[in-house]
Amino acid sequence: MDAGGKKPYDGGMQTKTLRLKDDYIELNKLLKVMDLCESSGAGKALVASGAAKVDGQVERRKACKIRAGAVVTVEDTAITVLEKE
């Protein structure tokens, strides 16, 4: 809390994590798995619109391979990708 007794603004970013089952996951499939869209087709449209960022850069490749260590951001959600067990 700040001196005025208010909680500091955190940007409202929701954070999630995804542990990979393979070496990578395609971006549009990641969006579906994380419930950020209804289907992988909707995920492709979301990516094509420029709404997805990978490590801070807009990513428009729908099947971009997302690997461990990447941070995917869509609107107010940030997803940290963890390596497979």
Q: Is the pLDDT of residue 10 over 60?
A: no
pLDDT at 81: 97
Domains of the chain: 14-82 (3.10.290.10)
What's the rounded Cα separation, in Å, for the pair 59 and 63?
10
- Over residues 30-57, the pLDDT tens digits come to 999 999 999 888 999 999 999 999 999 9
Q: Is the pTM of this model over 0.85?
A: no
CB 43 within 8 Å of CB 37: yes
Strands (E), the chain: 14-19, 24-26, 52-54, 57-58, 65-67, 71-74, 77-82
Task: Identify the sign of the CA torsion 51, 55, 60, 62.
Answer: negative
pLDDT (tens digit per residue) in 21-35: 999 999 999 999 999
Judged against a pLDDT cut of 70, whether residue 9 lies above it is answered with: no
